[in-house]
A and B are shown apart, each in its own frame.
Chain A
């Protein structure tokens, strides 16, 4: 695709208090593209970049020139997101989640076809949030896009593998949660004593494998 993949007109740069800007896009791929672009060519005065689903937060230095940075963000041309080069994190999963039959009903797929689609997907971490080490993975086929559960669970076990909207992910620890659970893994997603503590960070490529 051409260099103008994410039209600069389709982008909003919003003021966020004294020391931050929020850049808004129509989809998560554009967020990932700007994050990658800012890593390769940083903007002076930007101290931290935090991606989310449709937006990217830029935390600015106290003396940053907000007008200049806003203009640079508005006009920066973005190429289509290219997955990062590097190792793919493989996550072994036992596909016996409590919502597997609900997901089969929602998608019209057999449980075997759900497992195939999930393990065939080349995924990347778009952003992290919710809990330390929780990565929102994108790259699922649309056939696996399912809504969250109407009633969130008060307790989802650590290692549970879930689906929600365009995302899939693994709960790093026991917590409440509303994602549709399709399996579980023994992999440790977060360990504060490990360096780096998070197995997944924005840009990490991931592949699930059936155990």
Chain B
């Protein structure tokens, strides 16, 4: 058992989400940075579908009630056990009764706390993920919550520390054209590729809002709602793009100019407010 002393700004239980329900109006949800979630599970010897805790901007404090093997991945937050500091991306034994705390990450936004066995709350439609848009899955963690530890582990972990690429100050996300690229002026696509955009403070697990040169429309018609995908770059009426993350709606009523490549969506989920980001056309996407 794990007792939550403080969740920090936002902490949710996440796994690989609930794919396959989009036609019922239910999005996939799941860990916003899937690579980091999976790495955490690997480091503690879990199956990759085991649930982890997605910690937004550090601040999580827990007390473990039994000896536990944990790993912290994603945004590099210092890990404190009692007052001793440890690094991330490595398995760590935490004895029963002690307090574990995540400091503020030096870079990135979302850290993943994986525990051997996985977090064992009740699944909804086959997933333990909190979907902040649809309200499915467990509520965000609150002080005083207790989390059971499950049995989603495989063989004993064999990795001591995992090398991970560092976080860039101004990351470049690869994109491909979306279905409505031709609803924008020819300059808009070039603008999206040439100009840095700044992450605004009002992003969440649904999407990252950006601010920069507005993307002009060539077609002014209203778009009947159409399906969205993870990483879709939607452009509302103000011309400021928004990159959809794990809890994105199933459909949307604004045109999608491009789509962030699957391999880069996790990096989009690690963008911090105020940070700048650039887009590059994926090699075969053309300009």
In the assembly, what is the distance between CA of A168 and CA of B258, in Å? Answer: 31
Q: Is A127 an interface residue (CB 8 A)?
A: yes
Q: Is A57 an interface residue (CB 8 A)?
A: yes
Q: Is B177 an interface residue (CB 8 A)?
A: yes
CB proximity of A84 to chain B, nearest CB, Å: 14
Give the B-binding residues of A (Cβ under 8 A): 14-20, 22, 24, 48-57, 59, 127-134, 173, 192, 196-198, 201-202
Chain B 20-41 near chain A by CB (<8 Å), digits 1 or 0: 1111111000000000000000
Across the interface, do A20 and B229 meet the contact criterion of CB distance under 8 Å? yes
Known: A17-B259, A129-B251. A54 touches B224 (CB 8 A): yes
Known: A18-B176, A128-B25, A129-B250. A53 touches B226 (CB 8 A): yes
Residues in B neighbouring A128, C-beta threshold 8 A: 23-25, 250
Give the A-binding residues of B (Cβ under 8 A): 19-26, 124-125, 134-136, 176-180, 224-227, 229, 231-232, 249-251, 256, 258-262, 282
Provide a sorted-by-A list of 5 A–B residue pairs whose CB atoms are within 8 angstroms: A17-B178, A20-B259, A56-B227, A134-B25, A197-B24
In the assembly, what is the distance between CA of A16 and CA of B26, in Å? Answer: 20
In the assembly, what is the distance between CA of A166 and CA of B47, in Å? Answer: 47
What does DSSP make chain B's interface, helix, strand, loop or mixed?
A: loop
In the assembly, what is the distance between CA of A192 and CA of B128, in Å? Answer: 13
Across the interface, do B256 and A16 meet the contact criterion of CB distance under 8 Å? yes
In the assembly, what is the distance between CA of A198 and CA of B19, in Å? Answer: 15
In the assembly, what is the distance between CA of A173 and CA of B19, in Å? Answer: 22
In the complex, residue of chain A having the shortest beta-carbon distance to the beta carbon of B176:
A17
User: Which residue of the partner chain, among A22, A51, A54, contacts B23 with CB atoms under 8 Å?
Assistant: A51
Across the interface, do B225 and A53 meet the contact criterion of CB distance under 8 Å? yes
A17, A19, A22, A134: which has the most chain B beta carbons within 10 Å?
A17
Residues in A neighbouring B260, C-beta threshold 8 A: 17
Across the interface, do B261 and A132 meet the contact criterion of CB distance under 8 Å? no
Residues in B neighbouring A202, C-beta threshold 8 A: 23
What does DSSP make chain A's interface, helix, strand, loop or mixed?
A: loop
Known: A19-B262, A129-B250. A49 touches B23 (CB 8 A): yes
Across the interface, do A17 and B229 meet the contact criterion of CB distance under 8 Å? yes
Beyond A17-B176, A17-B229, A201-B23, list 10 extra A-B contacts (CB 8 Å): A17-B177, A18-B261, A22-B226, A50-B23, A52-B225, A52-B226, A53-B226, A57-B22, A127-B23, A129-B225
Known: A14-B179, A130-B251, A133-B25. A57 touches B261 (CB 8 A): no
In the complex, residue of chain A having the shortest beta-carbon distance to the beta carbon of B22:
A50
In the complex, residue of chain B having the shortest beta-carbon distance to the beta carbon of A196:
B24
Known: A20-B229, A131-B25, A133-B24. A50 touches B250 (CB 8 A): yes
Across the interface, do B226 and A48 meet the contact criterion of CB distance under 8 Å? no
User: Which residue of the partner chain, among B134, B179, B180, B226, contacts A132 with CB atoms under 8 Å?
Assistant: B134
Known: A18-B261, A130-B25. A197 touches B224 (CB 8 A): no
CB proximity of A132 to chain B, nearest CB, Å: 5
Across the interface, do A16 and B23 meet the contact criterion of CB distance under 8 Å? no
In the assembly, what is the distance between CA of A196 and CA of B20, in Å? Answer: 13
In the assembly, what is the distance between CA of A132 and CA of B24, in Å? Answer: 6
Residues in A neighbouring B19, C-beta threshold 8 A: 48
Across the interface, do A57 and B224 meet the contact criterion of CB distance under 8 Å? no
Residues in A neighbouring B178, C-beta threshold 8 A: 16-17
List the 9 closest pairs (A to B, CB-CB), nearest first.
A17-B259, A57-B227, A53-B224, A14-B179, A128-B25, A129-B251, A55-B226, A22-B179, A50-B227
Across the interface, do A52 and B176 meet the contact criterion of CB distance under 8 Å? no
Known: A57-B226, A129-B225. A16 touches B25 (CB 8 A): no
Across the interface, do B136 and A17 meet the contact criterion of CB distance under 8 Å? no
In the assembly, what is the distance between CA of A201 and CA of B261, in Å? Answer: 30
Residues in A neighbouring B179, C-beta threshold 8 A: 14-16, 22, 24, 55
In the assembly, what is the distance between CA of A129 and CA of B156, in Å? Answer: 42
In the complex, residue of chain A having the shortest beta-carbon distance to the beta carbon of B136:
A192
